[in-house]
């Protein structure tokens, strides 16, 4: 995997403005990993995918992360500052994720971890219970009770819960909780960190800022967009300061 140029990132942003988050994530990784097929990238577990996106984000924007949340108790807006290292709980890996098995009393269940294709398949389901059912149908590969094959709809809820818990344990980067405390009311809660939406929000803000810079410099000097984007951010900023200071 490699970092992305300003031109590549701007092209991805333009393409992805009307695309779902899963597609944006895969497009980012496909551009950063040209030697890896799309099929392989879409079959990465969500934790594998997110670990790669976290590293790519660090290469492009640095290690510091700034996010905003609203306190669910008093409505106070909070700014969170943390480091990429605080969010990294898994190493980078493009190796295929193995199948997992769960044994609970007389039940045996084999399953795989959810991937981007699974998220795309459940995107149309707005009800969480239906989405979860479809996801489990895709990820549970087989189930049996006392050696007898069992359809998914006959698995008891405590077995389903155990499968979900083991999925989360096996792929921790897919669900990274943030411990948040509100200084205004002292309410404490956990908020899940979603690198895909976080990264895209940053890319969106960056793209509008860079396009404004391109417009100013192109208007002032007649330079091409490609030449302006090829500059380092520092050099581009120096030229902008000279234009503004005229």
How many residues appear in the chain?
Answer: 246
Alpha helices in the chain (DSSP H): 6-16, 21-32, 38-42, 46-61, 84-87, 116-122, 128-139, 157-170, 195-221, 225-230, 233-244
Same domain, 79 and 105: no
Per-residue pLDDT of the chain (246 residues; tens, 9 = 90+): 999 999 999 999 999 999 999 999 999 999 999 999 999 999 999 999 999 999 999 999 999 999 889 999 999 999 989 999 989 988 777 777 789 999 999 999 999 999 999 999 998 888 988 999 999 999 999 999 999 999 998 999 999 999 999 999 999 999 998 899 999 999 999 988 999 999 999 999 999 999 999 999 999 999 999 999 999 999 999 999 999 876
Global confidence as pTM:
0.90
DSSP state of 1: -
pLDDT computed for residue 96 by the predictor: 73
Same domain, 143 and 208: no
pLDDT computed for residue 112 by the predictor: 96
The boundaries of the domain holding residue 138 are: 100-170
DSSP state of 96: P
Residue 84: phi, psi to the nearest 5? -55, -40
Residue 136 lies in a domain: yes
Burial of 9 (0-12, 13-18, 19+ CB in 10 A): buried
CA 11 to chain centre: 19
What is the total count of domains within the chain? 2
Same domain, 161 and 195: no
Residue 241 lies in a domain: no
Question: 3-class DSSP state for residue 60?
Answer: helix
Residue 234 lies in a domain: no
Residue 61 lies in a domain: yes
Residue 236 lies in a domain: no
Residue 223 lies in a domain: no
Same domain, 116 and 12: no
Same domain, 83 and 187: yes
Residue 244 lies in a domain: no
Same domain, 184 and 164: no
pLDDT computed for residue 45 by the predictor: 95
Give the whole-angstrom CA distance, residue 199 versus residue 93. Answer: 20
Task: Answer for the pair 13, 209: CB distance below 8 angstroms, yes or no.
Answer: no
Residue 142: phi, psi to the nearest 5? -175, 150
Task: Answer for the pair 98, 170: CB distance below 8 angstroms, yes or no.
Answer: no
Same domain, 145 and 189: no
Give the whole-angstrom CA distance, residue 46 versus residue 172. Answer: 9
Residue that the structure tokens 């800022």 belong to: 209
pLDDT computed for residue 246 by the predictor: 62
Give the whole-angstrom CA distance, residue 160 versus residue 155. Answer: 7
Same domain, 82 and 61: yes
Task: Answer for the pair 83, 136: CB distance below 8 angstroms, yes or no.
Answer: no
Question: 3-class DSSP state for residue 180?
Answer: strand
Strand 176-181 and strand 148-149: the pairing is unpaired
Same domain, 130 and 163: yes
Give the whole-angstrom CA distance, residue 217 versus residue 235. Answer: 12
Residue 88 lies in a domain: yes
């Amino acid at each position: 995997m490699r970092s992305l140029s300003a031109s590549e990132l701007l092209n991805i942003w333009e393409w992805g403005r009307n695309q779902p988050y899963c597609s944006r994530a895969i497009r980012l990784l496909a551009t950063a990993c040209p030697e890896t097929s799309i099929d392989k990238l879409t079959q990465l577990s969500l934790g594998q995918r997110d670990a790669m996106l976290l590293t790519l984000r660090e290469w492009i924007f640095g290690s510091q992360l700034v996010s905003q949340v609203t306190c669910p108790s008093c409505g106070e807006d909070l700014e969170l500052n943390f480091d990429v290292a605080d969010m990294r709980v898994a190493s980078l890996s493009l190796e295929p994720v193995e199948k997992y098995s769960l044994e609970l009393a007389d039940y045996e269940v084999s399953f795989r971890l959810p991937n981007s294709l699974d998220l795309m398949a459940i995107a149309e389901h707005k009800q969480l219970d239906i989405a979860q059912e479809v996801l489990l149908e895709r990820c549970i590969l087989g189930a049996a009770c006392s050696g007898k094959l069992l359809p998914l709809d006959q698995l008891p809820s405590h077995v389903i819960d155990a499968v979900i818990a083991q999925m989360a344990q096996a792929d921790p980067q897919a669900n990274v909780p943030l411990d948040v405390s509100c200084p205004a009311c002292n309410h404490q809660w956990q908020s899940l960190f979603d690198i895909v939406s976080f990264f895209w929000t940053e890319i969106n803000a960056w793209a509008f800022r860079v396009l404004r810079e391109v417009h100013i410099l192109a208007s002032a000097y007649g330079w091409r967009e490609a030449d302006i984007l090829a500059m380092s951010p520092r050099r581009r900023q120096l030229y902008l300061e000279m234009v503004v200071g005229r």
